[in-house]
A and B are shown apart, each in its own frame.
Chain A
Amino acid sequence: MDAMQFVFLAVAAVTLAAAFMVVSSRSLIHSALWLVLALFGVGVVYVLLNAGFFAVAQVLIYIGAIAILFIFAVMLTRKVMQDTGPQQNSNWWYAALVAVGIFASLFYMLNAWSGFNTPLPALANEAGLISDLGLAMVNTYLLPFELASVLLVAAMIGAIYVSYTKK
């Protein structure tokens, strides 16, 4: 076992434990803070995959914006749902069964695939990856890129309209 494998296993264990706490913690504020840890672990996985842009974007967008938005929402809606009472609905047993079933079937199907144990190929130009991504976003994938920006503006206007209260 080399150093990369050790780092991956440690990060994966921490991330999965944090994700488990997100879905099982009684206090929603604790859930949101565990979510920050899980998102950070996913960011480390992006670093291991040579996707530096996504590691930075993960910290900026997910941890810096989305997790903070979650904490705001939890604090704004805190009054009605305190940390007492059941946090899981009565069908949680079926939900666990479905989740385990999905995981087992995914594992089974991936195991039958011939490329499952593809070894890591060497990267040709590691330094140019981010500029390659930027060029691809404005050449080949210009239309989806612009559509994503339109979607973000529409979501922003929609979120303001939905949560706006008329005095």
Chain B
Amino acid sequence: MIPLSWYLIFAAALFSLGLYGVLARRNAVALLMGVELMLNAVIINLIAFWRYIGFAGMSGQAFAVIVFAVSAAEVAVGLALVISIYRRRNTVVAEDIDMLKF
């Protein structure tokens, strides 16, 4: 029998790895990969709390569906922005993208 704490520790570790990726990587596409890892950790937390504490209702799963949709929208717009910047500036390095108007 797996206690709730295992899922929470696993999700916290996954979130921290994603956070490291967001803060440390230079490539903008790699930053978005880190964001995906963090969102997955959040969804694990939502579903684990639903299964262990709120399993009488469906609030946790409904919330997780919304997070799924938001993360799909986020990655679509994010990658479109990266490709647009690449076409105009010929770079995908996050620290070189430091102007609001090209």
Contacts and interface: CB of A to CB of B under 8 A. Distances in A.
Contacts of B65: 133, 137, 145, 148
B44 A156 contact: no
Contacts of A49: 7, 44, 47-48, 50-51
A16 B4 contact: no
A16 B14 contact: yes
Interface in A66-98: 66, 69-70, 72-74, 76-77, 80-81, 86-89, 91-92, 94-96, 98
B89 to A, nearest CB: 9
Given A49-B48, A99-B23, A163-B84, A140 B58 contact: yes
A136 to B, nearest CB: 4
B3 A66 contact: no
Interface residues of A, number: 87
Contacts, number: 244
Given A96-B20, A116-B5, A163 B33 contact: no
Interface string A103-147: 100110010000111111101000000001101110011001100
29 contacts: A2-B1, A5-B2, A22-B33, A22-B34, A22-B37, A32-B33, A35-B33, A45-B7, A49-B48, A51-B64, A54-B43, A65-B72, A69-B79, A70-B32, A70-B33, A73-B29, A73-B79, A80-B92, A89-B25, A89-B95, A95-B23, A107-B9, A110-B5, A116-B3, A133-B62, A135-B58, A140-B58, A152-B73, A155-B73
Interface of B: 1-10, 12-21, 23-27, 29-30, 32-34, 36-37, 40, 43-44, 47-48, 50-53, 55, 57-59, 61-62, 64-66, 68-77, 79-84, 86-87, 90-95
